[in-house]
Amino acid sequence: MIEHLAPEIVNGIVLGAFYAIIAIGLSLIMNLTGTINLAHGSFMTLAGYLAFTLMSRGSNFWFALAASAICTAIIGLVVERLLISPLYKRVPLYSLLLTFGLSLVFEEVFRLIWGPSTVPFSAPPELSGATQIGDVFLPTYRLFIMVALVVVMVALLVFLYRTRLGLRLRGAVQDAEMLAALGTNTQLLYMTNFGLGILLAAIAGVLAAGLLGLGPTMGNDLLMPAFITVVIGGMGSLAGSIVGGLLVGLAISITTLYLPAASEVIMYVLMAVVLLIRPRGLFGEEGIFG
């Protein structure tokens, strides 16, 4: 029993960690600027393809991971300044639609450059194979992803809770108007915040490419579970995103084992149950967006 279940639990935790990282990025952007970033998945895919291109030119995995994540975040910043920031003063529907249009463009550009089907993206040799833990063999790459995502989350928490910029960012999420009144440059905060969300997405994107296979819709396929994670965890809550992500990941992987056809629907069941019990999500605060 355990030898069947253990890999699925590891799978679930890995998936959940992805959802959590993506959801945190989405949630940061949503809370501060009211933008539901439908292009979030595209940025993940973009980072994956950039890393793929670097690696196919001879770069090693680690350099490709770092370089593509940074490049993607910079592209994210350019997009935020040029396209999204002009919409901050309008109702959030417009930024939602803009990122929607953006995701259409991105997806098609990926198809044009890298082809419509998945490209071979393999994990580095030092991370392939399996690692024995107790009686169970687990894929090394999955264990690595688990560790990497935990490191990223800890780094994020340190940034948000221990640095001045992070504190200001959290303050801005609480009350952008008050912060503007205090003289903080809110536009700079919006930028940092968006860039941070995209950076998280980009790291997740490269890691996911080695696990799920890299195709034009890879990021978008991860986007919906991440939205559900945000709803389950409660908008604007980091803890909520982490717990929500793990719940969704475990629910999906365990259902995949027993009833594969229901593996997507299960997350909606989970969401409906959570919303019935706690309409604002598990850790939902009474934030400005409810």
When the beta carbons of 151 and 272 are compared against other proteins, the nearer one is: 272
> Which residue is listed with tokens 């969704």?
248
Q: Residue 167 Cβ, how far from other proteins at the closest point, in Å? A: 16
When the beta carbons of 140 and 217 are compared against other proteins, the nearer one is: 217
Q: Residue 100 Cβ, how far from other proteins at the closest point, in Å? A: 4
Phi-psi region of 234 (alpha: psi -120 to 50; beta: other; left: phi over 0): left
When the beta carbons of 98 and 250 are compared against other proteins, the nearer one is: 98
SS3 211: helix
DSSP per-residue letters across 43-97 = HHHHHHHHHHHHHHTT--HHHHHHHHHHHHHHHHHHHIIIIIGGGTTS-HHHHHH
Q: Residue 288 Cβ, how far from other proteins at the closest point, in Å? A: 5
Query: What are phi and psi for residue 284, nearest 5 degrees?
Result: -65, 130
Query: What are phi and psi for residue 278, nearest 5 degrees?
Result: -130, 95
Is the separation of the CB atoms in 197 and 223 below 8 Å? no
Q: What share of the chain is helix, strand, coil (3-state, %, to 5)?
A: 75, 5, 20
When the beta carbons of 94 and 159 are compared against other proteins, the nearer one is: 94
Between the alpha carbon of residue 141 and those of residues 178, 229, 281, 288, the distances in Å are 45, 24, 32, 40
Q: Residue 13 Cβ, how far from other proteins at the closest point, in Å? A: 22
Q: Residue 2 Cβ, how far from other proteins at the closest point, in Å? A: 28
**Contacting residues toward other proteins, per CB under 8 A:** 30, 32-34, 36, 38, 83, 86-94, 96-98, 100-105, 107-109, 111-112, 176-177, 180, 186-187, 224, 227-228, 230-231, 235, 261-265, 268, 271-272, 275-276, 279, 286, 288-290
Q: Residue 46 Cβ, how far from other proteins at the closest point, in Å? A: 15
When the beta carbons of 139 and 284 are compared against other proteins, the nearer one is: 284
When the beta carbons of 126 and 177 are compared against other proteins, the nearer one is: 177
